[in-house]
Amino acid sequence: NCYLAACDCGSCAYHLSQSRAKQLYIACSSARGFERLLRHSTMRNLLYITLAAVICAAVRGQQAGTNTAEVHPSLTIQSCTKSGGCQSEAKSVVLDSNWRWTHVTSGYRNCYTGNTWDTSLCPDGPTCAKNCALDGADYQGTYGVISSGSSLRLNLVTHNNVGSRVYLLDSESQYKLFKLKNQEFTFDVDVSKLPCGLNGALYLVEMDADGGTSKYPGNKAGAKFGTGYCDAQCPHDIKFINGEANCEGWVAASATGRYGTCCNEMDIWEANSISTAYTPHVCTVKGQTRCEGAACGDNASGQRHTGVCDKDGCDFNPYRLGDKTFFGPSSSFKVNTARPFTVVTQFITTDGTANGDLSEIRRLWVQNGRVIQTNNVTVGGMSYNSITDQFCNVQKKEFENSNDYEKRGGNRNMGGALDRGMVLVMSLWDDHAVYMLWLDSNYPPNKPPSAPGVARGSCPTSSGRPEDVERQHPDASVTFSNIRYGELGSTYGR
């Protein structure tokens, strides 16, 4: 649209990088002015050359747009051994493709506006993927993603954008895969600016390292542009799955399409300043898998417990397990969320090697130089302080929840995903479905709080409405820093 009707396209001057082209646009304030420019041979030739260069650049990009340069924010992490200490690794993060501007490959026309696909460009998934490109991101200015050294801050509201989801890259076009059996994963976190209804999450999912480009020819953008997301909820709101647009059967009201995208998920950290949980979710499929119908296990169809993934997972939330003074925003709690602290997650195997089956997932904490053990909690008359298959079985029975974790393979299956390698995700989000009550309040809210497993945090059931959270706490943020991984006992001071 910009090319032949420059005077009518308000974004033309913004997108043309050449200063002379910008001058041409500014000079052209009417159709008659544009015609006068075209009658001037020098200016006409310059305009044509400039616009042709922009058009060609966009065409070359195909599904990977070039209108905005994609510059990945750097993030330093560390790998650790007991004998050698911790060594720095220079990595970076990439924004998920769902947040990105999606436009035609040969210009600036949107393929997706608001919650709606342009059906003339996207009559079906393969055609849409050929017609449309994902563009680069202004991480700090548009999305509130700010990195500095070993620290990454995610802001809730930045202009019109809410929240973000980023992945750790190993290179410009490959995600880093973590294989953590018989190892530990550690990071520092500041949740002091996360009120009720928000979730500053750090977790692993079994995405393809290249974002799906080798499996799906229609995906030309890949990990460089944050493609290939999946998790155990089999989300339907992902715009591109398996190298095709998820535009068929798209429902604008819920921004969801026909297909979901499923994979194993290890929620190392889901938290705000009130509550926290760590939760493995397992699936019967290996790696990123597109689902349709019953396989997705959709809540709306009453099939939550019949899909390929365990959507509930086996969670360890101290508050839900009766330890209501362990985690909270003051010095009266064992872990004071008003101050930063360190989170250590250990993946223990049956034989003490990376070859054994995953048998236990442990959690340690460090704050003010002091190592804090997870308290023992009593469930079903037995004492636990970590996630084992036995804990999960007893917890599910005590809370009267379906034991989908055991049915889909439990810790051993989670260990299989950790063997194959999982991608690190960091995100900040609010919850339009159930307002994050499952993390920090009473859930389900129609059950008495005194019923086992219902009380998950001290937030009121009226909290967490996204419109309220975004209006009242636009400056909310989470900061992750000092990410390190390695041998058991090597990543934190004991």
Residues with catalytic function: 265, 270
User: Residue 367 has which token pair?
Assistant: 């704050």
CB within 8 A of 102, min separation 6: which ones? 110, 111, 112, 132, 133, 134, 135, 239
Contacts of 55-59 with C-beta under 8 Å, sequence gap 24+, read 55/3, 55/106, 55/107, 58/104, 58/105, 58/106, 58/107, 58/133, 59/105, 59/106
Contact in structure between 197 and 435 (CB atoms under 8 Å): yes
Q: Is the dihedral of CA 163, 168, 174, 176 positive or negative?
A: negative
Would you state the torsion angle of the CA atoms of residues 131, 71, 267, 82, taken in this order, to the nearest 10 degrees?
140
Dist CA 346 CA 489 (whole Å): 9
The one-character DSSP state at 425 is E
Contact in structure between 143 and 477 (CB atoms under 8 Å): no
Reference 169, options 478, 479, 423, 483; nearest CA is 423
Dist CA 196 CA 51 (whole Å): 50
Q: H or E stretch including 125?
A: helix 125-131
Reference 273, options 321, 344, 338; nearest CA is 338
Contact in structure between 243 and 428 (CB atoms under 8 Å): no
CB within 8 A of 56, min separation 6: which ones? none
Find out whether the peptide bond into 444 is cis, omega within 30 degrees of 0: yes
Beta bridge partners of 283: 309
User: Residue 488 has which token pair?
Assistant: 């058991």
Burial class (CB in 10 A: 0-12, 13-18, 19+), 302: exposed
Q: Is the dihedral of CA 22, 24, 25, 29 positive or negative?
A: positive
Contact in structure between 277 and 317 (CB atoms under 8 Å): yes
Residue type, 382: M
Q: Specify the residue for token string 């059967």.
A: 249
